Chains A and B, each alone.
Chain A
Amino acid sequence: MTPEPATTPTAAARASAWARLRDSDILASFLASKVTMVSAFVTVVMLAGAAFAPWIAPTNPFDPASVDLLNSLLPPRWVEGGDPQFLLGTDNQGRDLWSAILYGMRVSLIVGVCGVAIAATLGISLGLLAGYLGGRLDAFIMRVADIQLTFPAILIALVIDGVVRALFKGVAREHTAFGVLVVSIGLSFWVQYARTIRGSTLVEKNKDYVQAARLIGIPAPLIMLRHVLPNVIGPVLVILTINLALAIITEATLSFLGVGLPPTQPSLGTLIRIGNDFLFSGEWWIVAFPGITLAAFVLAVNMVGDWLRDALNPKLR
């Protein structure tokens, strides 16, 4: 076997990040899976739609001036009685559903991603610490996790909301709602990450490669980050994608109970909830379109996460 050019020091230094990506197996495995490509495409389109909502959406559903109550509950354009102005119809307040979905996607995504990010960061670090260091710290963290599980997300959100209201009396709820939601979701979901990570860490920390790293005096935090974490993170990627969906749904539930986002800033979850009220009176579009959007997004993200887990595992390449 002759050494490839890229292995010589000078060539490796010159190789750009793009060249490394092009040569990597990750891209090849991506191009080999049609399902992944479609899912990634759907995900990107929806992310773009959410990101560029103000430029794509015909109206701004958050702006009361652009909403006319006379247009409420109009069916989609192609259905009899539909107004050509509203592609997917309108909701009970006369908001254009197509615009509301674009804007709602945005709200849902931001809340979901932030909430899951908090949960994952908290859960992964606590799980890693508990598993690797063990002993009393482990017992303490895992008992806290057990206690945490007995509180539903809704209860946590209500408590946090109450505390925040008492602390910031003068501040309007519109400004605190987002923070309350994100923290509540973060606090309700971290246990799953901590348990998963702790379990795998307990297995990995006794493997000889960890011992070999200890032997040459690598400090424990570095061993956790460089050796243990990459070997235990796989299952978490899948939990992340599933949790993103759960977080979006939790956000909808909380909004329904009045501790979530105010109805003036509808998220996808809020739209589905509003639509639910009108489902039996025949206005199916209010629940159907946001629902389809949410389901498609969640499915696409899950598929990408599934592929990512396999692609990042060098053994499966």
Chain B
Amino acid sequence: MTDAPLVQVTGLRRVFDVSKPWLDRVVAREPRQTLKAVDGVSFEIRRGETFALVGESGSGKSTVARMVVGLLPPSAGEVVIDGVSMTDRKDAARRARLRRRIQMIFQDPYASLDPRWRVGDIVAEPIRAFNLARDRREVEHRVGEGLKLVGLDPADARKFPHEFSGGQRQRIAIARALAAESDFIVCDEPTSALDVSVQAQILNLMRDLQDRLGLTYLLISHNLAVVRHMATTIGVMYLGRLVEVSPARDVFAAPRHPYTRMLLDAVPDLAMSGRPRTPVQGEIPNPIAPPSGCTFHPRCGLADERCRREAPATIEGVACHAVAEGRAGAARPARAAGG
């Protein structure tokens, strides 16, 4: 193992065309409309760590995840995993080999398992796709091992997904993701569709597997309690941009970007410590017509003329004029997520 990061994302950008159909546009004399879902996102993930992307709905977290695994081609920028570019045409052959090592766990375990397939076939699909077993018996053996690994019975392989609960289905999805011996798993809101009582089980299973198999996670979540439980590094996204990247401990102990502070202040406190809880101010703006300059300025208490005019550069992991100019004050400790 080397010290080089496993995943390097540079200047990732994705623009969606949300224009009306051609004829409507010509009749109404409207220009094309585009939506910058992701704009200039860069980060690195080291081996064995859990990088969490947090942000409100519509901040572009899931779009980043889909581009990282290669389900969605980026409009610009590059994703390099273990030295192989996921976006460069020349690396096609190496990318095909790399594909086995990258897997994704989806948000909705009711949609991510083919309802017509038996669990055994679902888990075996990556094994068969990458020719990892010599014959049927070996495939069945590995499927059984995989199901045991996530705490299910090998006999469950004969059942259909609808015979399982949400938490069990997510376990099946994890077993499938690990079936091809992948070491980089992108988890897109892996617990947000589950009952609270089951969420912790799944998260603990994911951590346990990370320790045993040396997995690297890219965790997408809007739930700060989940992120606190899992993440080693946190990237905070706002309207398609990464506004803060810091080690998880620092984010919860001393959030720097005003948006991060706002998110943390809004977290309900289970301990009922009487800490004043500030609800999140305003809503995320329309990404089709984002605000000028720093896109957070309409919601930011520290915004001044410069913030409205120019977009901030990322300095030491924070993209904020106020922080760069020292106007934000000392990074104040925030009591964080009640998890």
Contact = CB atoms under 8 A, between A and B. Distances in A.
B129 A217 contact: yes
Contacts of A212: 104, 106, 112, 173, 176
A276 interface: no
A51 to B, nearest CB: 33
Interface in B113-168: 113-117, 125-126, 129-130, 136-137, 140-141, 153-155, 157-158, 160, 162
B99 interface: yes
A231 B162 CA distance: 14
Contacts of B162: 314-315
B191 to A, nearest CB: 15
How big is chain A's contact interface, by range? 20 to 34
B103 interface: yes
Interface string A1-19: 1111011011011000000
Contact of B111 (A6, A208, A215, A315): A208
A7 B119 CA distance: 12
A218 B71 CA distance: 12
Chain B interface, DSSP helix/strand/loop, else mixed: mixed
B130 A216 contact: yes
Contacts of A207: 111-112
A211 B114 CA distance: 11
A217 B114 contact: no
Contact of B103 (A4, A12, A215): A215
Contact of B140 (A9, A231, A315): A9
Contact of B106 (A1, A13, A211, A230): A211
Given A3-B154, A215-B69, A216-B125, A231 B104 contact: no
B287 interface: no
Nearest to A234: B116
B253 interface: no
A227 interface: yes
B153 A3 contact: yes
Nearest to B116: A230
Contacts of A211: 71, 104, 106, 112
B203 to A, nearest CB: 19
Interface in B302-332: none
B268 to A, nearest CB: 29
Contacts of A214: 71
A88 to B, nearest CB: 46
B140 A314 contact: no
Interface in A1-42: 1-4, 6-7, 9-10, 12-13
B70 interface: yes
Contacts of B140: 7, 9, 12
Nearest to A10: B137
B105 to A, nearest CB: 9
A2 B102 CA distance: 33
Interface string B66-104: 000111000000000000000000000000100110111
B41 interface: no
Contacts of B44: none
A213 interface: yes
Nearest to B104: A215
Contacts of A2: 155
Nearest to A228: B114
A78 interface: no
Contacts of B173: 212
Contacts of B269: none
Contacts of B103: 215-216
A209 B158 CA distance: 18
B181 interface: no
Interface of B: 69-71, 96, 99-100, 102-104, 106-108, 111-117, 125-126, 129-130, 136-137, 140-141, 153-155, 157-158, 160, 162, 173, 176, 180
Given A208-B112, A218-B125, 10 more contacts: A1-B155, A6-B158, A7-B158, A209-B112, A212-B106, A215-B69, A216-B99, A216-B103, A216-B180, A217-B129
Interface of A: 1-4, 6-7, 9-10, 12-13, 207-209, 211-218, 227, 230-231, 314-315
19 contacts: A1-B155, A6-B158, A9-B136, A9-B137, A9-B141, A13-B136, A207-B111, A209-B115, A211-B106, A212-B112, A214-B71, A215-B69, A215-B102, A216-B99, A216-B180, A218-B125, A227-B114, A230-B116, A315-B160
